[in-house]
Structure 1
Amino acid sequence: MVEVTRLSGSTVVLNADLIEKIEATPDTVVTLTTGACFVVRESVAQVINAVIDYKARVFKSPVRGEAHPSLTVLPGVES
């Protein structure tokens, strides 16, 4: 989930997996795959970085900071 700020100052949390595109028009417009659009204060780069940070947290092991075990290639299995 990615928290962004609407132009009105209110915050909204978006599902990062549903982001279809991010445009600078010059305001930043985030469009979801559902068709919903959000005009936000953050720049395109800030939204992209927030998505990257979120996904990095999701795919890290909470114990050792390594890749999540379900994403590890097993010995003897080629990718």
Structure 2
Amino acid sequence: MKDGIHPKYQECEVTCGCGNTFKTRSTKPKIAVEVCSACHPYYTGSVKFVDAAGRVDKFNKKFQGTYGKAKKPAEPAKA
């Protein structure tokens, strides 16, 4: 390896959004992550429910329940 071209490899602290912290080694002194092994559903075995009902309600509100329904035929104009 050439001298002076590689970043410094140092001890770093990783902080998760859940509040968990742990130490590892990296070229950065601090790392912030959103999900770690302490809070990820795959590792914890818990299931977090997504607000699917809220999404459906939002969609229906946007289209007023008319999405995919055929339009009414126009009435003939009166002379």
| TM-score category, normalised to shorter length | under 0.3
Q: Going by fraction, where is strand more abundant, 1 or 2? A: 1
Query: TM-score, with normalisation over the residues of structure 2?
Result: 0.27
Query: TM-score, with normalisation over the residues of structure 1?
Result: 0.27
Relative contact order higher in (CA < 8 Å, ≥ 6 apart): 1
